[in-house]
Amino acid sequence: NEILEGLCIAANLPLPKLYVIESNALNAFATGRNPKNSVICVTTALIEKLDKNEIEGVLAHELSHIKNYDILLSTVAIVMVGLVSILADFFRHGFYRTDDDDDSNPLLMLVGLIFIILSPIFANLLNLMISRNREYLADATAVSLTRNNEGLMKALQKISDDTNVLKTANETCSSLYISDPFKKKKEKDSIFSTHPSIANRIERLRNIK
């Protein structure tokens, strides 16, 4: 908790509540609608297996999400994806109710149908892209707080090497964690991933001077 207090002073943020999850998986996440109502959770394995500098890097990363209002942005993005899906479903049912003798332009109907099918997909891909970019931003912001990129780099490598799945995690909230809790490892960034690859994150951190 002393490490977190020091980071909050550096970031000029109120101290978030800190909770520990009993788990043999290395992971952490932050949540809360704003800095005054924020929470950071870390697993017991992360505390036990990471050294002080590595823990500082992880906490700085999670605090950066709070500082950058990423949790609020993520919530808005999820709501927008849901709204697009609802609208697409509404218009799709509208097409099903079209009369046989309707004088509607077939080309316009075809374009509309394609939009209905593809818009939820593109909305979800946009949400995933935002999530990946905010992870890169949180990494960079964390380094600006700690003045030490080595700690976070080593922590991410240990988290990547860990094979334990966080059993308490679910798909809806997977983007909140510092690393994919389901251990779907990818060597390269994927448009379908909530997180950038650990290798790319470490490479970017290495290039921060």
Measured CA to CA, the distance from residue 33 to residue 92 in angstroms comes to: 34
Distance CA 148, CA 142 (A): 9
Task: Calculate ∠ Cα 23-43-149, nearest 5°.
Answer: 140
Contacts of 172 (CB under 8 A, 6+ apart): 78
Question: Which residue is it, tokens 């990129």?
Answer: 149
Is-contact 27 46, C-beta < 8 A? yes
Catalytic residue selected from 2, 5, 22, 62: 62
For residue 129, what is the enclosing H or E element? helix 106-146
Calpha distance 180→33 (Å, rounded): 22
Q: Catalytic: 203? A: no
The catalytic residue positions are 62
